Structure 1
C-alpha cells in the first residue's frame, strides 16, 4: 500500500515502513506534523539532529573538507514536495547518489514532480519519503505510516545503494521511530 508515493516510485528496489497509532484525530496529528516540518531538525529532537550532523560531517570530510554544511538544513531543504493531500498524505522526493556521501542534497535540476518523474540518468537513484494519516478503525485514533521508497536507475546504482542501505537502514529506521514518537507527543499534548 504505497498511496501517492507509488505514483513516483511504483516498484522500489529498497524501502522501509514504520507505523504507529496516535490517540488523536487525523486533523490534530496532521497539524502536529506540519508544526514538526516547519521546525525542521529542531522539531525532530536532539538525537535525530546528532545523526544528521554526523552524516553531514562524514560527507564534508569525504568531499575533502571545505565549509561545513549548514546545520539548519532539514527535510524541506533536501526533499522536494512532490504531492500532498491534506490531511491524509504528503510525499517528498529526492534524486541523488547518497552512497557517495558528498552528494546527499540531490540534483538541483530536479525541481518538482514532473522533473522527478522524468529523471532517468544512470548512476542515480530516486527516493520518496511519505507520511500517511488515516483514522484507525479499531481505536478511533490516527494510524500514521511513514514509508521510504528508493528506485535505482541502473545496476551500478543498485549495487552501490545496496551497500549503503545495509549501513544506513538501521539508523534510518531509528530516525523514523523517533520521529513517530515525537509526533505522538506533539499531537496529544
Structure 2
C-alpha cells in the first residue's frame, strides 16, 4: 500500500509467487465501509455470484460474501479495524496436512507440495482493496500451480471487482441513510 505501513497481509505472507490486487475508491468513513465488508451478500454482486456458482461454491442470495464464504474455505484471521484477512492452504500432492492452524501453516510451513494463500479486503485512505498472494513451498509446486493461476486469474479478477463494487454500493447506501 502507498502508506508504507505493514498490513496483516504483509505479516501473514510477506513473500509470494503470484499476486492480484484490485482497488476502488469509496467516499465513506472506515466504520461504514468495514461494516459493508462484513455485511455484503451475494445478491448484491451478481457477476461474482454467477462466476462463483460455476465453482460449486455456496452463493445463496443472502449468504455474506466475505465473512461466510471465505471462512468456509480457510481461516479468518483477526487483523484490525481496517482489514479482513483470510488464510488458506492447499496440498497439490496427496500428502497429509501438516500439523497446525491454517494461519500457522501459511506463516511457517516449508514442506514441499503446499500452496499457501493469503487474501485480504482492506479500507485505507479512502480506497477499498482486495489483495491475493500465493506462495508455493517449492519450485515443483510453483510450476504446477502456474497454469491454474493463469487459467483462473481473469475470472478471479472479475469476481473481486464485482465484490468491491457491491461493498462500495452498500457503504454508500448506508452513508445516504445515516
Q: TM over 0.5: same fold?
A: yes
SS state at 1:10 partner: coil
2:10 to 6, 31, 50: 6
Name the CA distance, whole Å, in 1 between partners of 2:135 and 2:44.
26
User: Number of aligned pairs?
Assistant: 159
- Give me the TM-score of the superposition, normalised by structure 2: 0.78
Matching residue of 1:120? 110
Matching residue of 1:158? 142
Name the CA distance, whole Å, in 1 between partners of 2:52 and 2:135.
22
Structure 1, unaligned stretches of length 5 or more? 57-68, 101-106, 136-141
1:83 and 2:78 are equivalent in the alignment: yes
The alignment's C-alpha RMSD in Å is 2.4
- Any idea what the Cα deviations from partners look like across 1:138-183, whole Å, max 9, x if unmatched? xxxx211210000111112101111111100111111111111111
Name the CA distance, whole Å, in 1 between partners of 2:22 and 2:39.
20
TM-aligned CA distance change 1:108 to 1:188, over 3 Å:
farther
TM-aligned CA distance change 1:164 to 1:177, over 3 Å:
same
Q: Is the 8 A contact 2:52 2:159 kept in 1?
A: no
Name the CA distance, whole Å, in 2 between partners of 1:23 and 1:82.
26
- Give me the TM-score of the superposition, normalised by structure 1: 0.74
Divergent runs of 4+, >4 A: 69-73, 107-110
TM-aligned CA distance change 1:110 to 1:170, over 3 Å:
farther
Name the CA distance, whole Å, in 2 between partners of 1:43 and 1:77.
18
SS state at 2:117 partner: strand
Structure 2, unaligned stretches of length 5 or more? 61-67, 174-178
Shift of residue 113 of structure 1? 2.6
Name the CA distance, whole Å, in 2 between partners of 1:71 and 1:26.
26
SS state at 1:85 partner: coil
